[in-house]
Structure 1
Amino acid sequence: MSSAAQGGKQRVLITQSTLVHIGGSEVQAFELAQYLQSQGYQVVIYAWVAADPMLKIVEDAGIQVLTSASASCNELHLTDFDLVWVQHEVLPRVLIDELAQGPVERPHFIFSHMSPYREVHLEQPYMYGLEDGLADMIVFNAQGTLDAQQAFFERRDKLALYPNPAPTAYSTTPHRMRDKLEAVLIVSNHAPEELLQAAELLRGQGLRVDVLKDVVGQQSQPTSPELLDKYDCVVSIGKTVQYCLVQGVPVFLYDRFGGPGYLNEDNFERTAYFNFSGRSKGQAPSLVEVMQEHAATEVEPSVLAQQIVEGYQAACAFQSQHRERFIAEYDIDTVWKQLMQELKKHRPEAFAMSDTYHSYLLRHTQMVADYNQSTQFAADPILCFYQQAVRVFLGNSQQMTAVNLTPHAYPLGAETHLSFQCEGQKVTRVDFGEQPCLIAGLEVKHQGAGRLEISTNADVDYEGVYFFLQMDPQVYITSPVGVGQMSVRAQVFPLSHIPPAVASKLAQEIRHRQIVQARQLDRWHCLMNNPFVRCILRVRKMLQHVIPKR
């Protein structure tokens, strides 16, 4: 046991490539962290990139999140933890350096893999020799994933299953089955067209059919036991199936890879082998090949609708008969305790690392992390925008250089807040990242005498809303005398993704301004067309010709 455990609570580090979207590996990391926290563990999650909505979900649960950009990440040590749970072979650089220093007391390492697909490179063991040398256990979400990857490992005795279990809240909230099918929930990030058409047919028969993202919103929490209990049947694949199994909700398997329909005695073992993905054959498949196979064998919408209705009673009976078995196999409390019993058989072994292999791990880790981040940023420009930092410069004039840059960087967010000491300087420059943006609601508070003056390099300043159309947006805050503590608040948005509420408010202000200007122009025209005013103007013009200029 490490020194961390000797001091009290056991500590666990969970690593994951990105913590941004509500995806399979993100949810597994979060639910494991949440479970361990409920069992008295201290948990830290490390990721290369973290942002909302997943970051907010994790932090709202009271779980600490570190990224490669976090200053405190460099303070991590192997002896801080009793267990390191590794997803996507992600290891903080500082831990790789410690491992390279030679024999050290180290925690248990468990590596997790969640996909057999060749194209999902992060789910493959892409670091040569890492898991064979460092892992005490290597776990897979299904037997099909294990069979697809086992040839990559020399130590087969380390391989085991961790079947993406469901939080205990699902097993302790039993579903109330109803005699008649009335409400259906579709849980899918990529529902095929034939399934959506089947949903319309079911609605035409008087059934209520909802799609999860329409019920809870794109940026909301993952599903919950309370939500699933409102429906008689759930159409989904993957992790949602485990939720339904332990809660006792009839589940119909169908999505972009097809599926067998309702689970029954004939198809359960085969679908479990493939992690309830909808697939039914193959060992190390290609995503492209599987999708092509489905395109050639997709089920007609009318047939899907008929299967959902006519198979409901049998699905209810199957769920009721096997629910206790499903809880034993897929409830996280049961699965985790079994895994820990197995882990006790594996003592952490010395991990010899040459200078060459140490260099290889560092370079390969950085290369994969950089590629992963650039891919994330290319696919999500908003995520890319908010990965920027806010920097503060202090001086006595607006002519500033790197010498005036303060050492601390602040995170850029839609609601940005920073507080700092001005050290008696008269001019503060705040750089809100480097990309073009819109800044609204700028608010500056300070400790000191005198009135502050605010200026910017914005291309457009309209009623306190600043449009920065060029790179390097800057806000200058000037005081007649140096001030002490200063705080700055602002709403900051990329120009390509201004929130509808902000855009609507701005549009209303612009329309109001245009109406006021139009009214002023109308009054001017009325005044100029007034006979009396026109007469006075003619007299004035005549007098200008008669009276000589001095």
Structure 2
Amino acid sequence: MENKVNNEFLNQKSILITVAYLDGFHGSVIHVKEWGTYFVSKGFNVTIATIMWTPEIYNMITRYGVKVRSVFEDWNEKFDIVIAYHFPTIGLLLKKGVDCTKMVLGSLSSFEYLESFPLFFELASCLVCVSEESKLFHHLSGIPLEQMIVIENSIPDEYFNFTIKKKHELPEKIAIVSNHIPEELRDIKRERKFDTIDFIGMGGDIYTEITPALLSGYDVVISIGKTVQYAMGLGIPVFEYDYFGGCGYLSLENFYREKETNYSGRTTRRKISTYEIVTEILNGYANALHETDKIRQIAKDIFSLSKKLDFLLLKLHNTKDFSKNDLLNLNSNVTIEFDHNECFCKWTGHLKQENFSLKRNYPLYYNRFSCIEVFYDTGKGFSEGEKDVFSEFPITIYSRDNLRALRVDPSCNYCSVRIRSIKAEGEEIPFSTNANFIDREEYFFNTNDPQIYIDVRPNAEKYEFDMEVLQLNAEFAGKLSHTQCTLKETQRELSG
């Protein structure tokens, strides 16, 4: 296979990959980064076209020799291969003059609308789905099964080549990798059964690119999707569970069944309690650890990124070429779709850029991951000795013995707060604040010690708080407060 692939490299040297956003360490971003990096290592000139990017992700990708460009540039270029994800991007690029010899259309989901195939799917050289579940979903939309192939989330070879230390006899260090951590996983820390529990992902303790070195220090990895395969590649016991639920420990018995739905938890959709999760992690660890070597070998055979992409290149050698002339003659619906794609890219691009512009250039910026403190008064007043610290809303806390009062400090800075809900046992409850003023249900705090006082309910065990926090710097907060005071004085004069 290697010689045939190398021959292809001699004749095909340019690849364009499209993706909607390069804005964080999430699935589609890491997917195109890994594919682009591998193709560069094999001698291709690789470009990723996207609506927008953040500097951090731009640097992560370009340091491997992959170029990043905006879909809004003038293109008028022909590539040997185009691999297109998120259908509006390729529609806009074709309208802007992109052409290619081989066209690969890809889908990374069975339910996200952005992962649909474009109307001209029948002209593609190849259609690639991330799982059998995704393939069947697209078949229900009228796409013939024989036009689609499955290339699952793959494991870069560095994972198989990485040597990890011998694991503990009992699980001591746990990594929970998720960008959408469910409550039953968050509460594992409350059980105090493990020495270390790190939440990795958006809103967690660590937010960075997943690497072999990062995961290698843990005894168990709890996650779904790509990270499940990463753990397999390292030979680490992996517990499949997230917001869809999941099967628990991956085993030789359930390996192929879970593979059908991309190790997403959707095969069983089994939801269990925190106590049950902890119990399964402890009781099943010995067997999971025993099976890791066999699972690692199977994963190397079927999920190796180099094998998967070499297979794709060979397949493309025997598929039809993409014809832009055929595309233009297809039907009027394609023209309508192209117009829709351009509007979509411009609108979402503008929205994202405005958001990042606010963060970079203005003293007012949005921040969901501020330092949130919850204080408990159990008869001695509020003190640093009785508090919990959180990184993001929504949060859930539980009552303590002799609890008399609760206080939530939504930030350690000047801020405005929009309160979505404050509940005890699922019911809204009263509260008060030290906000300087309120404007259309938004509370403005001209202090670096904002406080929200919660009415404690008798016999209530569970409290839930959900708020949107907008950070302000001191100068801006002062100007805002001054403007509000001036407005009130003017209103008083007019009413007098």
- TM-score range for the pair, normalised by the shorter chain length: 0.5 to 0.7
Structure 1 residues 381 and 364: CA distance shift in structure 2, 3 A = closer
The 2-side partners of 1:169 and 1:324 are apart by 14
Q: How many residues align?
A: 362
Q: Render the CA deviation track for 1:290-309: whole Å, top value 9, x for unaligned.
A: xxxx6xx6312111101111
The one-letter code sitting in structure 2 at the alignment partner of 1:319 is: T
The 2-side partners of 1:36 and 1:76 are apart by 22
SS of residue matched to 2:90: coil
Q: Tell me what 2:174 maps to.
A: 184
The one-letter code sitting in structure 2 at the alignment partner of 1:13 is: L
The one-letter code sitting in structure 2 at the alignment partner of 1:58 is: I
Structure 1 residues 87 and 211: CA distance shift in structure 2, 3 A = same
Q: Which residue, out of 108, 112, 122, partners 2:102?
A: 108
The one-letter code sitting in structure 2 at the alignment partner of 1:91 is: I
The 1-side partners of 2:279 and 2:222 are apart by 14
Q: TM-score, normalised by structure 1?
A: 0.60
Structure 1 residues 132 and 254: CA distance shift in structure 2, 3 A = same
The 2-side partners of 1:153 and 1:29 are apart by 27
Q: Which residue, out of 284, 298, 320, partners 1:325?
A: 298
Contact 1:141–1:163, Cα closer than 8 Å, also in 2: yes
User: Are 2:356 and 1:383 aligned?
Assistant: yes
Question: Superposed, which structure 2 residues align to 1:20-169 within 5 Å?
Answer: 20-69=23-72, 73-78=73-78, 81-89=79-87, 90-91=89-90, 93=92, 95-96=94-95, 98=97, 106-117=100-111, 120-125=112-117, 127-128=118-119, 130-133=120-123, 135-169=124-158
Offset of 1:175 from its aligned partner? Answer: 3.2
SS of residue matched to 2:49: strand
Identity of aligned residues (%): 22
In structure 1, the gaps of 5 or more residues are 100-104, 282-293, 387-412, 415-435, 439-495, 511-550
Contact 2:91–2:342, Cα closer than 8 Å, also in 1: no
The 1-side partners of 2:145 and 2:271 are apart by 37
Q: Which residue, out of 157, 162, 169, partners 1:173?
A: 162
The one-letter code sitting in structure 1 at the alignment partner of 2:190 is: E
Contact 1:77–1:94, Cα closer than 8 Å, also in 2: no
The 1-side partners of 2:319 and 2:292 are apart by 36
Question: Superposed, which structure 2 residues align to 1:294-443 within 5 Å?
Answer: 298-351=271-324, 352=326, 353-354=328-329, 356=332, 359-373=335-349, 376-377=351-352, 382-383=355-356, 385=358
Contact 2:36–2:46, Cα closer than 8 Å, also in 1: yes
Offset of 1:369 from its aligned partner? Answer: 1.8
The 2-side partners of 1:154 and 1:216 are apart by 39
Q: Render the CA deviation track for 1:423-477: whole Å, top value 9, x for unaligned.
A: xxxxxxxxxxxxx768xxxxxxxxxxxxxxxxxxxxxxxxxxxxxxxxxxxxxxx
In structure 2, the gaps of 5 or more residues are 1-7, 365-469, 480-496
SS of residue matched to 1:44: strand
SS of residue matched to 1:83: strand
The 2-side partners of 1:27 and 1:307 are apart by 30
Q: Tell me what 1:408 maps to.
A: none
Q: TM-score, normalised by structure 2?
A: 0.66
Offset of 1:83 from its aligned partner? Answer: 0.8
The 1-side partners of 2:200 and 2:341 are apart by 36
Structure 1 residues 197 and 497: CA distance shift in structure 2, 3 A = closer
The 2-side partners of 1:98 and 1:62 are apart by 24
Structure 1 residues 304 and 12: CA distance shift in structure 2, 3 A = same
Structure 1 residues 188 and 167: CA distance shift in structure 2, 3 A = same
Q: Tell me what 2:391 maps to.
A: none
Contact 1:263–1:318, Cα closer than 8 Å, also in 2: no
Offset of 1:77 from its aligned partner? Answer: 0.9
The 1-side partners of 2:217 and 2:337 are apart by 49
Offset of 1:154 from its aligned partner? Answer: 4.3
RMSD, matched Cα: 3.1
Q: Which residue, out of 245, 252, 274, partners 2:232?
A: 245
Contact 2:135–2:145, Cα closer than 8 Å, also in 1: no
The 2-side partners of 1:166 and 1:124 are apart by 24
Offset of 1:160 from its aligned partner? Answer: 0.5
Offset of 1:184 from its aligned partner? Answer: 0.8
Offset of 1:384 from its aligned partner? Answer: 5.1
Offset of 1:7 from its aligned partner? Answer: 9.0
The 1-side partners of 2:76 and 2:292 are apart by 45
Contact 1:68–1:92, Cα closer than 8 Å, also in 2: no
Question: Superposed, which structure 2 residues align to 1:12-27 within 5 Å?
Answer: 12-27=15-30
The one-letter code sitting in structure 1 at the alignment partner of 2:28 is: S
Structure 1 residues 261 and 25: CA distance shift in structure 2, 3 A = same
